[in-house]
Structure 1
Amino acid sequence: MGNTFSTYKIDDRSLIAFIKREIHNLALQIGFTPHRAAETDIIVAELTSNLIKYANGGELLYRAHFESEQNQIEIYCLDKGVGFENVAKIMNDGYSSSNTLGHGLGSIKRLSNDFQIYSIKNWGCVQYVKICEKPDFQLPSLKTGLSYAAIAVNYPGEKLCGDGYYVKNSSKGFQIFVGDGLGHGESANEAVELAMKVFKQTIEWDPVEILREIHTRVKKTRGLVATIASVDYKSEVWTVCGIGNINTRIYNGLENKTYTPYNGIIGHNIPRTLNNTIVPYKKHQIIIMHSDGLRTRWNLNDLTSILKHTPGIIAASLFKENIRGTDDATILTGKIN
């Protein structure tokens, strides 16, 4: 289990049995009962068969995850099909767009612990499913402060991810790290993992000082780029600093600002002078941070009503439209409650 998602392009019905078996075995491996694993099979079968039937294929991302004292499987299902105009309507059992019984999405909703859909007509669809080992487990309600979700995938063919992210919470506030080791594969992974270790252990709060500490500690690695964003609840400000091409934006409603990082490579050459950017911290803000595995020319305002959706749906929608497919890719989205 780890932070990264496995990903499969689903463009042929013959792949469905293979992916069902992969996720079934993963479910058993993390402690799901055979019955719960069988329910997971039904969910995967519905998601993947719908991709073939209605969207001419798409992409399935999945991972095993441990959160809230529960082993979980998380799945994102992405497509560029015709989409839906009325998501609430299609979630009801009995609805069908092709004269079938139409129980598919209703059964996914019943068998999962969390099921969300975002869709725009002629844009496609993003579906998110969370399956916990206990079918009746109630997900904890959102607390004040930061709620976030992240999607990270390896460079195609690599077993290790050269990107990394981590969020630290305390009574003082929270800190977010997003980094990208140079290149991809084992050497990039070594650099970003060491950087995250330093980030987890440091008692520093100031992003500039943390970046300098990481720089000193990773000099024997390939190096990386990274951005750190900290929030202090008492002073009600964001403090942001980055070196290299991690894209960072903070949305205040429909308005947003991109925070430009410094040029350099952490572990090799960083500017002598580094300064934090200070930004007011407000409720309902959205922060988005991603590596250069995603294109940067996107705008949330192009996605109808996306701001009201969860961080995971926002991250997956941007991932669907902007993944390059030529590098590791990570996107982290946070919402202030």
Structure 2
Amino acid sequence: MGLNATIRLRIQDLSGVGPARRAAERLAREAQLDETRIGRASILVSELATNIARHAAGRGSLALRASPGLLTVAAWDAGPGIADLARAARDGFSTGGTAGTGLGAVGRLSDVVDVTSTPGAGTVITAWLGHRPADAPDVDGLALPIDDDGPCGDAFATRVDDGVMTILLADGLGHGPSAAEASDDAVASLLTGPRRDPAEVLADAHAALRHTRGAAVSVACLDPVRGEVRFAGVGNVAGVVCGAGGARAMAAHNGIVGHQARRLQQFTYPLGARDLVVLHSDGVRGAWGLDAHPGLMRREALTIAATIIRDAERGRDDVSVVVARPGPRGAVA
């Protein structure tokens, strides 16, 4: 399944609330949600946008994604953070006097919600309206264009074969439609081909991208039965395994998939049941980390991806982050 048809709205002040609300309503209809959930989506996104404008001085974004039967919302800011999440989630509590009464409203309006906040660093809220299968692969992420109204040159997708999850993340060279064409073709080579190991997936993508400007591509196969992740990458799409012992970068080779990929070599790394695999494009600075946010590794994959973008986005390139755990969602507490 593809995961990255996402709209980003940067909230600078209260004038951004109306456009965010209208976008939520439109996408909720595209997701074919019922009228009740469409109304809840409108209020939910208005509340999140208002909170960013009032509490974070406009230093935040909303990302919205529609898929059949489901609207996904991510909101992040670099504001002061929330010192007491439990108190903020109580009905009637709102430091800004918003109509929806803060996090209490977010919880009531969403079918699933996840919140993390670090004092001094900001808050990330992810929410889902509609049906989200509990046994779906535990993987999610964001791919966002440098120009919020333009196509994204980064793309990603995942597939599961006999319990092995394969993730591909592509960063098309440059920006705009030509970069998007290259990354989309790389994704298609994963989704339409047979099950392959990472080096073989890269070889398929290399052949598929010869007519394009090319891309940096990384592929990871998470195998919970073997307790390992197999990885192959060409170009500057990073792969990292995060666990209790810290973060370990996975090895990739220089080159351009579709043009100059002399070595298609894969490597194998141990993968624990509670470990994370993170893939990201060079729109993210390499010096990111999760240790500054206690408990973050236990949050939703989308919450972690949004936090990394909030903390480490370069701001001069398309940006993408994918986060995955071995096994189905909810298998590890």
TM-score by length of 2: 0.90
- Tell me, in whole angstroms, the C-alpha distance in 2 between the residues paired with 1:62 and 1:191: 23
3-state SS of the aligned residue for 1:318? helix
Deviation of residue 15 (structure 1)? 2.2
1:196 and 2:194 matched: no
- Identify if the C-alpha distance between structure 1 residues 158 and 54 changes in structure 2 by more than 3 Å, giving closer, same or farther: closer
- Identify if the C-alpha distance between structure 1 residues 333 and 232 changes in structure 2 by more than 3 Å, giving closer, same or farther: closer
Paired residues in the alignment total: 326
- Tell me, in whole angstroms, the C-alpha distance in 1 between the residues paired with 2:3 and 2:239: 24
Q: Which position in structure 1 is the counterpart of 2:231?
A: 240
Deviation of residue 101 (structure 1)? 8.3
- Identify if the C-alpha distance between structure 1 residues 126 and 171 changes in structure 2 by more than 3 Å, giving closer, same or farther: same
Residues 31-42 of structure 1: pairs in structure 2 closer than 5 A: 31-42=32-43
Q: Which position in structure 2 is the counterpart of 1:230?
A: 221
- Identify if the C-alpha distance between structure 1 residues 211 and 98 changes in structure 2 by more than 3 Å, giving closer, same or farther: closer
Q: Which position in structure 1 is the counterpart of 2:329?
A: none
**8 Å Cα contact 2:5/2:66 also seen in 1:** no
Instruction: Provide Cα deviations, 1:198-223, integer angstroms capped at 9, x if missing partner.
Output: 11222252211221222122111101
Deviation of residue 141 (structure 1)? 2.9
Deviation of residue 157 (structure 1)? 4.9
Instruction: Provide Cα deviations, 1:218-253, integer angstroms capped at 9, x if missing partner.
Output: 111101111111134554322111000011100121
1:140 and 2:141 matched: no
Query: Which of 91, 94, 105 matches 1:93?
Result: 91
Deviation of residue 100 (structure 1)? 7.3
3-state SS of the aligned residue for 1:241? strand
Q: Which position in structure 2 is the counterpart of 1:175?
A: 166
- Identify if the C-alpha distance between structure 1 residues 292 and 99 changes in structure 2 by more than 3 Å, giving closer, same or farther: closer
Looking at CA atoms only, which structure, 1 or 2, has the larger radius of gyration?
Answer: 1
Question: Which range moved further: 92-101 or 275-284?
Answer: 92-101
Q: Which position in structure 1 is the counterpart of 2:116?
A: 118
Instruction: Provide Cα deviations, 1:112-160, integer angstroms capped at 9, x if missing partner.
Output: 111221101111111112122xxxx5x43346xx511111111215532
TM-score by length of 1: 0.89
Give the letter aligned to residue 80 of structure 1: A
**8 Å Cα contact 1:58/1:80 also seen in 2:** yes
**8 Å Cα contact 2:47/2:98 also seen in 1:** no
3-state SS of the aligned residue for 1:141? coil
Q: Which position in structure 2 is the counterpart of 1:331?
A: 321
Instruction: Provide Cα deviations, 1:292-312, integer angstroms capped at 9, x if missing partner.
Output: 111111111122221221211
- Tell me, in whole angstroms, the C-alpha distance in 2 between the residues paired with 1:8 and 1:233: 36
Q: Which position in structure 2 is the counterpart of 1:51?
A: 52
**8 Å Cα contact 1:154/1:327 also seen in 2:** yes
**8 Å Cα contact 1:156/1:326 also seen in 2:** no
Q: Which position in structure 1 is the counterpart of 2:248?
A: 257
**8 Å Cα contact 1:156/1:325 also seen in 2:** no
- Tell me, in whole angstroms, the C-alpha distance in 2 between the residues paired with 1:275 and 1:9: 39
- Tell me, in whole angstroms, the C-alpha distance in 2 between the residues paired with 1:101 and 1:181: 43
Residues 200-215 of structure 1: pairs in structure 2 closer than 5 A: 200-215=191-206
3-state SS of the aligned residue for 1:42? helix
Deviation of residue 172 (structure 1)? 4.8
3-state SS of the aligned residue for 1:263? coil
- Identify if the C-alpha distance between structure 1 residues 252 and 188 changes in structure 2 by more than 3 Å, giving closer, same or farther: same
Give the letter aligned to residue 196 of structure 2: W
Q: Which position in structure 1 is the counterpart of 2:11?
A: 10
Deviation of residue 289 (structure 1)? 0.4
Q: Which position in structure 1 is the counterpart of 2:289?
A: 299
Give the letter aligned to residue 312 of structure 1: L
Q: Which position in structure 1 is the counterpart of 2:75?
A: 77
Identity between Structure 1 and Structure 2 (%): 26
Give the letter aligned to residue 150 of structure 2: K
3-state SS of the aligned residue for 1:200? helix
- Tell me, in whole angstroms, the C-alpha distance in 1 between the residues paired with 2:295 and 2:3: 31
Name the Cα RMSD after superposition.
2.2
Deviation of residue 7 (structure 1)? 1.5
